[in-house]
Amino acid sequence: MLFIRENILIAFGAIKANKLRATITMLIISIGITALVGILSAIDAIKNGINNNFTNMGANTFTIRNADINIKVRRKGKSTNAFPKITFKEALMFKQKFNFPAITSISTMASGTARLKFESKKTNPNIQVFGSDENYINVSGYELEEGRNFLSDEITTGNNLVILGHEVAYSLFKNQKSAGNFIRIGAAKYKVIGVLKSKGSSSGFGGDKICIIPILNARQNFSKPDMSFTINVLCRSNQLLNVAFGEAQALFRNVRRLNTIEHNNFDVIKSDNLANILINNLKKVTIGATLIGLITLLGAAIGLMNIMLVSVTERTREIGVRKALGAAASTIKNQFLIESIVICICGGILGIFLGIAIGNIISLSLSTGFFIPWFWIISGLIICIVVGLLSGYIPAKRASELDPIDSLRFE
């Protein structure tokens, strides 16, 4: 331990004697570590955002939606869809027949590129318009910040009413009261009856850039041939979730008139399953990001090795003096190795802090809060030690093999 401490003190002395070179070397390492830790911390932040987003939907939620795989078959030279979209009639029939202690909601994406206007103010043309019933807000994990929800009568009559997402309301009304005002969605005029609390726009699941209108109104004003509907079910008890899941699947098979040997032509997915699917898709991104970070770090390691070789050349006389005073070749090698590791760790600590900052900036933008990626902090420090050993070995070996007589004569 005394030997290591002495070499660390010598390393810091060498760093102080060559501040500019040492600073540049540390910055090279810190950039590499920032790239690696920053990218991976950002991916962790995205994962947390996905988990939080689906947690907000409720752990007891599952969704009946169109099947992902769009299999097509050829019949008489024409292409037909083997998995038909869920129609409003089918969704409504399911809602009426599903007699279970659960809240059922029907919704549809009326438009994903709507522009909303209030007097001279207007939003960007990227607002999602959802048609829904009175249960959608509860089932989707939203809460009202201002105004009220739809009434049952307003859903059945399809009134021109709208509930705005938090970001949409701020764009049109800033900090003024929104409820009671009239806005335009396309050519139609709608009365604002409520504003949703901010939910964040993480992972693109609606977030705050949405507005909700009665589902019959969406069918009337945003009708399209391939309009499909989604059924969301919020079970009142987590213990009953699997039972409700099975019963809902059986009921919708009956609604679709599927016989016992036919496969489901729809998907029934729990909210946590959706999160797992998205997180699994991020694994490939994580691998790619790790490779990019390691390549950046490899460049930093090569830069460190070059600078350490220059340091050996500049300190040739110092090495000769140490050997003349009795220092062994292994002592000289260990001195330069420890110096390389010290420089790497100092630069790595800066890089880790910058990487954590990048990850948390993304985390805060996704409204998932501050977090400390301990795994990447520890991994970053281990990587710094490994890089220091690899980058310092060749210069240290070269320094240990110098002839003391030739070193003392070096100018």
Q: Tell me the pLDDT tens digit for each residue of 328-382.
A: 777 777 777 887 888 888 888 888 888 888 888 877 776 666 777 788 788 888 8
Confidence of residue 402 (pLDDT cuts 50, 70, 90): confident
Determine the residue type at 180.
G
Q: Does residue 76 surpass a pLDDT of 70?
A: no
Q: Does residue 163 surpass a pLDDT of 90?
A: yes
Q: Does residue 251 surpass a pLDDT of 90?
A: yes
pLDDT of residue 331: 77
Instruction: Map the chain to HEC letters.
Output: CHHHHHHHHHHHHHHHHCHHHHHHHHHHHHHHHHHHHHHHHHHHHHHHHHHHHHHHHCCCEEEEEECCCCCEEEECCEEEECCCCCCHHHHHHHHHHCCCCEEEEEEEEEEEEECEEECCEECCCCEEEEEECCCHHHHCCCCEEEECCCCHHHHHHCCCEEEECHHHHHHHHCCCCCCCCEEEECCEEEEEEEEECCCCCHHHCCCCCEEEEEHHHHHHHCCCCCCCCEEEEEECCHHHHHHHHHHHHHHHHHHCCCCCCCCCCEEEEEHHHHHHHHHHHHHHHHHHHHHHHHHHHHHHHHHHHHHHHHHHHHCHHHHHHHHHCCCCHHHHHHHHHHHHHHHHHHHHHHHHHHHHHHHHHHHHHCCCCCCCCHHHHHHHHHHHHHHHHHHHHHHHHHHHCCCHHHHHHCC
Confidence of residue 60 (pLDDT cuts 50, 70, 90): confident
Q: Does residue 73 surpass a pLDDT of 50?
A: no
- Average pLDDT of the chain to the nearest whole number: 81
Least confident residue range of 147-161, 235-249, 313-327: 313-327
Average pLDDT over residues 282-299: 78
Average pLDDT over residues 56-76: 63
pTM above 0.85, yes or no: no
Average pLDDT over residues 13-33: 78
Average pLDDT over residues 22-47: 80
Average pLDDT over residues 227-255: 88
Confidence of residue 247 (pLDDT cuts 50, 70, 90): very high
Residue 261: partners with Cβ closer than 8 Å, 6 or more residues away: none
pLDDT in tens, 85-119: 999 999 999 999 998 888 899 999 999 889 999 98
